[in-house]
Structure 1
Amino acid sequence: MGAGASDLVVEEAAVPGLGDMPELCAAEVLLRLGAPDICRLARLNRAFRSAGAADFVWEAKLPENYGYLMGFVDGGEDEQGGQGKRRSAVGKKDVYARLAKAVRFDDGKREFWLEKSTGMVCMALSSKALVITGIDDRRYWVHMPTTESRFHSVAYLQQIWWFEVVGETDFRFPAGTYSLYFRLRLGKPASKHSGGRRGCGTDKSNGSIHGWDRKPVRFQLSTSDGQNAVSQRYLDDEPGSWVLYHAGDFVASEHGRPVRLKFSMAQIDCTHTKGGLCVDSVLVYPKGVHTEEVVVRD
């Protein structure tokens, strides 16, 4: 009886646990997960930790044009350029981690980053990267520093008759469908020196916010390969809240060619003035991915 109990103990001790999982099996599990879950499982045991550092796991999570994207980090835009050797020596996990942080270019007026869970590219263009009618005349527009913008500055419209904001970008987006938004707010933002307090001019009754209920704003989006979107929307959301106004969607092909985007928002009915609007940025997200309230086109 004692020998039988001893045999039972030996058999129980021989049963393998999760920590005995081969590294390749752990890697097969990680290949089916997003980056945040890979990092969580890597803390579980040695097999997942080792697999979670493997280049082939992270390369599968990177967009196919990650070499082109890393060119912006290295200070160039040619993935075949002189920085290639140094880049190839960096582990793919480190490449993913770097691209998941904002990569600034165009003198800091534009940036892109990888959405952590999907590995798809997001982009932001500041108000200073846009062509805004009357922006150089302080009677109409002023650049306001604020903590409410990722670029720490927004363009604030005081009053104007002809309202038009135009922009474009030429970029190699990984294959997929993307949505383009204008990030807007009725009323002044909090300034850098206000301790987070809301700025003045957030109440329609004081006259600072006016003209947006008379005519809708027209949003347009076009691409170099013939895609187009047009929509109209009244800017009638609650003053004091940042809102993403959906201008349209576009599809980036699988051939890796650059996509030239042109986009605009305009309200050019000169029978009345418009004012009290903040223009922060233009955002490009993978379709269905966004972090703020979105206004879709009518």
Structure 2
Amino acid sequence: MGASISGAMVDRDEGGSPMKPRLGDIPESCAALVLALLDPPEICKLARVNRSFHGASSADFIWESKLPSNYIFIVEKVLRDTTLLNLQKKQLYAGLCRPNPFDAGRKEIWLDKNTGGVCLSISSKALTITGIDDRRYWTHISTEESRYPTVAYLQQIWWFQVDGEVEFGFPVGTYSLFFRLQLGKSSKRLGRRVCNSKHIHGWEIKPVRFQLTTSEGQSVESRCYLDNPGNWVLYRVGDFVVQNPNAFTNIKFSLTQIDCTHTKGGLCVDAALIYPTTVAKEIRSCS
């Protein structure tokens, strides 16, 4: 009797043969447990498989596990928009993956969409640049090639120094800091990108020096020549490690070439950028 009852409960096809379980038969709760083990891009791909995975892909516990440990700090203290916390965690993740300006638009924060890693950008207007207010040396030029409306352009100077400082509550991890620079001034002419190299000089004589220090006593210094005119280049300043997610990390960094035996010029300074080191490797390999 037991066997006949069990057989009666099995779905059968038109020919009377038992039907095999289908992927769509997986309960949403089980599908959600599977999705929680995947990276965000994989979750989004599986959400298109069937209704079960689509419904499960919106579960808050999945996306909360993908958000950085400091996401409440980012929303409340950096972006100062607590209404974001009322969103579903999937919507919050998507919103934080977009560039979010703060500090009067001089900085941006976003999450790497593949890993949830915290990324920062500090514009040239948030940096301390020697001589920036003297139009004989520096100007702010409009551009469509930056996250920001303008970049700082150096025509000519003897003492070149750019300093930056940021204090932030980073999640635990290793981070890389870069300067985004370009030799030459680019613009569009008849719809085509052109680069004016008129003022480029002096960078081949001596290398520039990059420095980075943190409030935990970490220190990095490196030197390199600026090259590749007409192209934006990410110059790596160095890496730093965050071990305490509950403390603010103060980072000071600089870019200098202060040999006053010669002038240098023709350089665009866009921004300083901080990425999780794993994300930075992907960016550098694609650039």
TM-score (norm 1): 0.86
1:66-98 CA distance string (max 9 Å, x none): 10111257526xxxxxx4xx5543211111011
Taking only aligned residues, the RMSD between alpha carbons, in angstroms, comes to 2.0
| In the alignment, structure 1 residue 255 sits paired with structure 2 residue 248 | no
In the aligned structure 2, how far is the partner of 1:229 from the partner of 1:110? Answer: 23
Give the equivalent residue in structure 1 for 2:258: 268
Local SS of the residue matching 2:16: helix
Give the equivalent residue in structure 1 for 2:4: none
Kindly indicate whether the alpha-carbon contact (under 8 Å) linking 1:156 and 1:278 is maintained by their aligned counterparts in 2. Answer: yes
| In the alignment, structure 1 residue 169 sits paired with structure 2 residue 166 | yes
Give the equivalent residue in structure 1 for 2:6: none
How far 1:58 sits from its partner (Å)? 0.4
How far 1:35 sits from its partner (Å)? 1.2
How far 1:227 sits from its partner (Å)? 0.8
Give the equivalent residue in structure 2 for 1:198: 194
**Equivalent residues in 2 for 1:209-228 (5 A)?**
209-228=200-219
Do the aligned partners of residues 200 and 292 (structure 1) sit closer, same or farther apart at CA in structure 2, a change above 3 Å counting?
Answer: farther
Local SS of the residue matching 2:66: coil
How far 1:12 sits from its partner (Å)? 3.5
- Which 5+ residue runs of structure 1 have no aligned equivalent? 1-5, 77-82
Deviates more, 1:44-53 or 1:123-132: 44-53
Local SS of the residue matching 2:45: helix
Kindly indicate whether the alpha-carbon contact (under 8 Å) linking 2:200 and 2:267 is maintained by their aligned counterparts in 1. Answer: yes
Local SS of the residue matching 2:194: coil
How many pairs align? Answer: 273
Local SS of the residue matching 2:93: helix
In the aligned structure 2, how far is the partner of 1:110 from the partner of 1:245? Answer: 19
Kindly indicate whether the alpha-carbon contact (under 8 Å) linking 1:115 and 1:121 is maintained by their aligned counterparts in 2. Answer: yes
In the aligned structure 2, how far is the partner of 1:7 from the partner of 1:45? Answer: 21
In the aligned structure 2, how far is the partner of 1:248 from the partner of 1:262? Answer: 11
In the aligned structure 2, how far is the partner of 1:198 from the partner of 1:253? Answer: 45
How far 1:47 sits from its partner (Å)? 1.3
| In the alignment, structure 1 residue 102 sits paired with structure 2 residue 74 | no
**Equivalent residues in 2 for 1:109-124 (5 A)?**
109-124=106-121
TM-score (norm 2): 0.89
Aligned match for 2:29, one of 21, 24, 27: 24
Taking only the aligned residue pairs, the percentage that are identical comes to 55
In the aligned structure 1, how far is the partner of 2:13 from the partner of 2:208? Answer: 80
In the aligned structure 2, how far is the partner of 1:194 from the partner of 1:229? Answer: 44
In the aligned structure 1, how far is the partner of 2:50 from the partner of 2:119? Answer: 33
How far 1:24 sits from its partner (Å)? 2.5
How far 1:180 sits from its partner (Å)? 0.1
In the aligned structure 1, how far is the partner of 2:179 from the partner of 2:78? Answer: 26
How far 1:238 sits from its partner (Å)? 1.6
Give the equivalent residue in structure 1 for 2:56: 51
